[in-house]
Structure 1
Amino acid sequence: MSEQKNLSRIAGSSLADGLKQTLEKEIASGALEPGKRLDEKEIAARFDVSRTPVREAFRLLAADGLVDLNGRQGVMVRALTVNSLLEMFQVMAELEGLCARLAARRITPEQLVRLRQLHQQMADHGESISPAAFYELNLQFHEAIYAIARNAFLEEETRALRNRVGVYRRRVTFHPGRVSKTLAEHGAIVDAIAKNDADAAHDAMRKHLTLLGDDLVDFIAGFS
């Protein structure tokens, strides 16, 4: 069955917007890996659309830094250099740190219950959960904090950068011992937010995202 109907359910002002969002998710998840060539004709057939919205979707993805338009060589999913990754993770740490800071100031009792539930779901599974499943729960945890911060612009910018580094960030989850580290780091974030300690929440989230020392070395080696 064609995937075109799925596009119609994606929020957006046009078919190209919906197609862009779908491809963006596939890039962030690693389904479309860095360096992969995107074939315009193939994607048009896959979604049962003309090539015009596909070309527009490629243009939108390029504007967001997710693909490179290489003329006759075609469209390629952008592969980030080590230096670019380090710079993006530095910015990501600050953006998510600000989300956590605002969340600590603005969280409601109901939102705190939900945040604790998400953390507990991950803790209940521990190392027994598959990396892919754990990553999805991890994504929900961070998305919850974006929403609790109640700053639409910050949420939009944080999510946009997260999508650019998503496939690389996902790989970190696959490294041995990373699940237990993440649980401990998430616990510190939840505790700080629950105490409405904005500084501690910011610092805990920033530490979680910084990827220093052995974790950073393992992360880069695991993707190279």
Structure 2
Amino acid sequence: MAEIDRGPWAVGEATDETNSPKRKTARQRVCEVLRWRILSGELPPNSRIDLDVVAGEFGTSRTPVREACLTLAQEGLVRVVQRSGVTVIGVSPESIMENFTLMAALSGVAAQWAATRITPRQLLRVRELHREIRVAAQSGDDIATLNWLFHREINKACASPRLQAMLGDAGRMIPRRFFDLFPEHVPCSLDEHDALVSALARGDGLAARRISEQHFDGAAQLLSRNVQSAASGTTS
């Protein structure tokens, strides 16, 4: 699966063979898990990452763990200092809000373009995924992957590889398992999905853009409070 297929945030892995977790390198697997732990607040600012402990957890050597930490350092999430180890920098509530604002704008444009460019086949797939998400939510099953596929299908329908690539880059800085953190946010998201599918079906680009932008507002507030709580040592 091409990298441009990712987004609007990485909330699960697709199930097709080209994106199988088995095809990921040890560095990629470690990087994704550590990024998730940092962004979700599980690894708070100023905590240390023990390379040996992480290597043991993943059954690998220190080398891919260190390479993963160097990638996270480039993203501004950790500090790697020779002889001092790896220290988590983390993210502030302000930076989270800033990133969600960017994601909202990009996703809004993607939805607006998709409303006029989506094919009947793509719209059918979006509808199918929407129904599957509702069924999964009602039965208490995991909806993260289905949600990821739902939004990916809309982003692909915008027919802009450049915009899809920008969404993928920004999406890496948002926890891929968002609904694991905030299950209470699911009903609101599903209602927004209803409105978004309706806007796409009638070709209303402006409505699709507005709904997509609003889709991130509540999510941004929830995640920001979570990170703030983790930083202050309190519970949200």
Q: Report if TM-score (shorter chain) is over 0.5.
A: yes
How big is the shift at 1:186?
A: 0.7
CA contact (8 A) 1:27 1:167 kept: no
Aligned partner letter, 1:162: G
Kindly indicate whether residue 219 of structure 2 is the aligned counterpart of residue 205 of structure 1: no
SS at match of 1:79: coil
Residue from 23, 35, 40 that aligns with 1:9: 23
Percent of pairs identical after alignment? 31
In the other structure, the counterpart of 1:142 is 151
Aligned partner letter, 1:143: R
In the other structure, the counterpart of 1:55 is 66
In the other structure, the counterpart of 1:151 is 160
Residue from 112, 115, 123 that aligns with 2:134: 123
Aligned residues: 205
Deviation digits for residues 100-156 of structure 1, max 9, x if unmatched? 1222232111111111111111222445425xx133322222222222223333223
Structure 2 residue runs without a partner (length 5+): 1-19, 230-236
How big is the shift at 1:60?
A: 1.8
In structure 2, relative to structure 1, the CA distance for the partners of 1:62 and 1:207 (3 Å cut) is same
CA contact (8 A) 1:147 1:155 kept: yes
- Within 1, Cα distance between the matches of 2:179 and 2:168? 14
- Within 2, Cα distance between the matches of 1:24 and 1:98? 29
CA contact (8 A) 1:82 1:220 kept: yes
How big is the shift at 1:182?
A: 0.9
Aligned partner letter, 1:209: F
SS at match of 1:211: helix
How does the TM-score come out when normalised to structure 1?
0.75
SS at match of 2:216: helix
- Within 2, Cα distance between the matches of 1:137 and 1:37? 34
Structure number with the higher helix fraction is 1
In the other structure, the counterpart of 2:95 is 84
SS at match of 2:76: coil
In the other structure, the counterpart of 2:175 is 166
Structure 1 residue runs without a partner (length 5+): 1-5, 11-17
How big is the shift at 1:19?
A: 3.3
Kindly indicate whether residue 114 of structure 2 is the aligned counterpart of residue 103 of structure 1: yes
